[in-house]
Structure 1
């Protein structure tokens, strides 16, 4: 029934029952979106959102540690993002003595704020179109490797020209698979400190069970602060640094909202593939994603049996486990959604239309063979995709699948260096060793690598030759092989590695059993024979032409490029899913604290709750954060077009005021990275009123509340 809605991939849908598709560049809002957004409820102008010369909304939206989004919410550099975005930093700062993941943390002063070892925030300064400059240097007669080399040389020049001698980070990115190019100028701040986080029983309430599901009842937020030097410039951590005074910060609205109200999201969506052809979807559904899911589950199971036995192990592996688990459920949801909605069939209908257009005399020479080349490529790489995803699942789950090779190569360089060179290299190697091994738990790592290698050798097909020989000798059971390798390897203990730095030897690394295994796996992962290089080049050229042809075929349609971790705006409205009887609210666009309490299961890892939260609900002590109808809102739905990387993004009302933090999508629209569902696409967000309620009434962190500009 929904298949009819998938036949137009990038159409500008206007009926009020449809979601607004699109992840739009801020520099194009005036031309493409301003009038439509204002008609739907925006009270701002495009200039209010994106201005190069004046402060604007974009100055308050930051990329958080390279993989999430966050927002500046005070004049002292206070930052809101998701709990799961801050999870790694919170876990790093936690210990069995100070278990901030489990118990939460609230700094009552600047002096109490905690600095993780490595965390950065990236501000967006400006962007511009350099398509003509770059594309004038290449042509269709060039080999792909020559084209890429020419483009990369020009990109290096553009990045150098705009960096202002290193003040800014400049990134030139390709869009529409090489049909357009834009540069982006950023400024990075590395002194970022933890200010507050709820306990995991609030911040991760519902765990894996509720992940990607609606209704949700998760307080998915954490709070950080960005610091600079006394002049507001980026600076390495120092006690002399001061909270950053931002160009703009977001006011926070606790006025509430209702079904149909305008809302918008600014953030850094990570990756979509909405131009993916039908054959690519079939490859993912039948080869790539099933391998990813299976390898992830094997790694998760091996980790979990050790994490459940020891809280220190649980803390140290919580972030890694969470990352593997999230994508495990995501990929399975993608398989289910793409099959259910017959997405590849919808794409094939679209490709049939393209073929008819491409077969016209005026288009035939340039576009006539494009789809044949694309389909041939996927047919030739299906088995490779399966192999690579089994291997990727292992690399994501097992520290020692990759670490010995990456560290070992550094140690080999050290062994080959002069005494004087070693003096410079040693501190960096010691720091790398300490960072990567200080929290490693060997029994867990041994089991993960055993189970992953057993799966890889039995299912992946054309596996790494050295691993195949080991499997032949051990009959496909790596239990003894890996246990023996850890016993003999210098990589299993920091003491062994530090001793190596005293008496380095190339032979020690080359003959190390874990180094051999790791090198074999990574060499296979990076393998690229001449035949594959040729196939890749033919595919890239054909896919670029397919997109260019599709754009030419539909010249009057508004288009947006696939997401690639660049700042975008998406807009829509507060919008319920169809009633399903599961929700605790009268309208299925929000959930309440009453619904949270209804899910409470004492002692359960996913559904336990703090006693104080239960008491606050029992007395209805919600302060000024309750909805005017009397309930305490928790999560809500809107229909913006988001994906991974948007986690932590601000949900804003028509006045540009913060009303929530986006943290998830819904399982019904899991195919959204490939094809947009205008009926079921939803964003799940934590209501900012719940965030403030937890900070104020639950944690008593009045110092944080006092910083904010709260609009009542």
Structure 2
């Protein structure tokens, strides 16, 4: 334990303390030295030990990573989990049917026996972290290529992970920070028996749809509820009727006090990725080459999907999660293009890099840093067109199940064919499971149209040599892939589960390799992964130079950013409840919250995005808000803070100065969409669901007061 404490003290001493209060996503282990005093001045009433403790229960024990992509929090002593509706969307859609459509109609388990177990869903608890920079950097030297460096890092990381997993009890992950200048390991514990407890109807949980996504004012009840189960001794366990609700180390109390302008707000969660250290050339490449291709490819896939989703409830259910994910990033990337262009972010970064280049070429720095900026700029100049191509290609792979699927499945079949009889018997169940997952909910008419549209776009717009098989087909078909896809769907073994299983009874490698969808998919993936010798060299030099750029910027203190980019590790951000300028679209007295009355004003009967349940409208008319109304009499829905968050923070708890839950984060504002690259203190806002609206929906709308009763409510 002394060793752990010493490493913590040394780590925080290495981090500068001159930071802006509301900017940054911070490691919990740095709170005491780095942020605690600032946070106290803003309204925090907790000790750092109450937020992050290795030996005692603390707030960090109530924060979980939800299914690998979102954040959630434990809000009762019976393992009740709260996260966003859009984070639970996959699981809700999975357990829904056209007859019992929980996505459309909502669901509230009347008791624990009625809670529903989705097939694949888990939560990850953070146990502890520590700095292993000295140990790993000691295995590296400047003469190594990037491949050699990465191999050495992986080898040492594997040892560290094995040393700390306690014979498999924990999941341990060593992660790089500051572009590989520092390394930390993180210890987690995963729980896989997680069951659906409750969700509002989609007309509440996704109110506003794509139109309101990334916008303010917002009126969305973006939440869903689950429960973690353990074995009788409190350990992680596979699903069993004998499992019991978790008894967590800590659960968050819930405040009904509400929020006011300038109230302290703290968010803990798992932000996915930021690029605050990205060079100017990378920003320019994204804005002009990569993101426009991403946006166009996404919209192409969405349009093709929606035609079929609008015609069938079953198809809409099967593709709801995929469509929502594509749509979310489509609007995000367009917002990034607009914001980064408007604020001339690349130019700002280029000026900072010019200042760095002057410092780097001073006599005492030149040997190490002199060529850094030139090397980085050379890389981006050489890869701009490839970035455009790769994003069009990725759209085929991402949006069509026949982009990557046949190749991945086909390789599994090839492996199966090559085995002896005993090994085949061992491999077959896993292969069959993969086949079942691949074809679950697949709708061929939709897949046909998506694949045709994406291939036509990729071939036409890539601006870089396309996959060889695609080029061959385009030449033969005049750039229109309709006939090829129709012929391939008619002849391929990969268009249905039944065809694949029939092929497995008498498999033939030659027949497999002649399959048109297998050839297409293999060509796409081979092209996606391919790197010429020239590109390998450019990439190697770039990675080295980017790492040196970050190291030099920190050494020279020419960059105000002194926190590492987000990378799906637990972080804390803090700020205040903070309004935006007055907006006539918002009926609130101050533009930092929205109301149920404002929600009703957006109501459009039978509209896919703005419909509302009749009961919600009736409750508003009667002002039947129970104990959840604001003291001013209105029913709050959403509110704004200026916390620094990004994707992955969805579902993160918003806490007041006492560590009580006041809301959960679910979005950012489109005006600050450049926030993943550069933080703007004037524009940056986090959009949160007011916890009082969450409780109101559960209690007054759904009548599920038994769920409220297990929470710790602070009035």
Q: The TM-score by the shorter chain falls in which range?
A: over 0.9
Shift of 1:45: 1.1
Which of 363, 367, 370 lines up with 1:368 in the alignment? Answer: 370
Residues 253-290 of structure 1: CA deviation (Å, up to 9, x unaligned): 01112000001100000000001111111100000000
Shift of 1:401: 0.5
The equivalent residue for 2:9 is: none
Kindly tell me: are residues 12 and 611 of structure 1, through their superposed partners in 2, closer, same or farther at Cα, counting changes over 3 Å?
farther
Q: CA–CA distance in 2 between the matches of 1:156 and 1:241?
A: 33
Partner of 2:532: 529
Give unmatched runs, 5+ long, in structure 2: 1-15
C-alpha deviations, 1:352-411, integer Å up to 9, x for none? Answer: 221121121111111111000000000000011001111111211111101101111101
> Could you tell me how far apart the structure 2 residues matched to 1:188 and 1:462 are?
43
From 550, 553, 569, the equivalent of 2:553 is 550
Structure 1 stretch displaced more, 455-464 or 202-211: 455-464
Say if 2:607 is the partner of 1:587: no
Corresponding position of 1:452:
454
In structure 1, distance between residues paired with 2:639 and 2:338: 24
Which residue of 242, 257, 261 maps to 1:240? 242
Deviation at 1:192, TM superposition (A): 0.5
Tell me how far apart the structure 2 counterparts of residues 336 and 12 of structure 1 sit (CA, whole Å): 31
Partner Cα distance (1:568, 1:454) in 2: 42
CA distance in 1, matches of 2:559, 2:604: 55
CA distance in 2, matches of 1:511, 1:483: 16
Aligned counterpart for 2:145 among listed residues 133, 138, 143: 143
Cα contact 1:12–1:21 (8 A) shared by 2 = no
Task: Spell out, residue by residue over 1:144-179, the C-alpha distance to the aligned partner (whole angstroms, 9 max, x if none).
Answer: 211111111101100110011111000000001010
Q: Check the 8 A contact 2:356/2:558 in 1, yes or no.
A: no
- 2:42 corresponds to: 40
My pick for the range that moved more, 527-536 or 693-702, is: 527-536
The SS at the match of 2:365 is: helix
Q: Deviations over 1:449-472 (max 9, x none)?
A: 000000000011211011100110
Partner of 2:266: 264
Residue number in structure 2 paired with 1:477 = 480
Counterparts of 2:440 and 2:683, CA distance in 1: 45
- SS of the residue corresponding to residue 436 of structure 1 reads helix
CA contact (8 A) 2:268 2:572 kept: yes
Match of 1:4 in 2: none
SS at match of 1:451: helix
Cα deviations across residues 594-649 of structure 1 (Å, max 9, x unaligned)? 00000000010000000100000010000000000000000000000000000000
Deviation at residue 580 of structure 1 after TM alignment: 2.8
1:307 is matched with: 309
- Measured in 2, the distance between the counterparts of 1:29 and 1:663 equals 24
Whole-Å separation in 2 of the counterparts to 1:622 and 1:643: 32
Partner residue, 1:607: 610
Contact 1:446 1:482 in 2 (8 A): yes
- Distance in 2 of aligned mates of 1:213 and 1:516: 43
Aligned residue number for residue 6 of structure 1: none
Q: Any conservation in 2 of the 1:11–1:558 contact (CA below 8 Å)?
A: no
Q: Residue 215 of structure 1: which of 209, 214, 217 is its match? A: 217
The number of residues matched between the two structures is 699
The answer to whether the 8 A contact 1:104-1:199 is kept is: yes
Comparing 432-441 and 177-186, the one that deviates more: 432-441
Q: Is the contact between residue 32 and residue 558 of structure 1 (CA under 8 Å) also seen in structure 2?
A: no
Answer yes or no: is the 8 Å Cα contact 2:17–2:34 preserved in 1.
no
TM-score by length of 1: 0.97
RMSD: 1.2
Aligned match of 1:562 in 552, 562, 565?
A: 565
Is contact 1:130–1:182 with CA below 8 Å preserved after alignment? Answer: yes
Superposition deviation, residue 13 in structure 1: 5.9
Deviations 1:59-104 (A, max 9, x none): 0000000000000000010000000000000011111011010000
**1:12-31 CA distance string (max 9 Å, x none):** 565xxxx7100000001111
Q: 1:49 to 1:172 in 2, by over 3 A?
A: same
Flag structure 1 segments of 5+ consecutive residues without an equivalent: 1-9
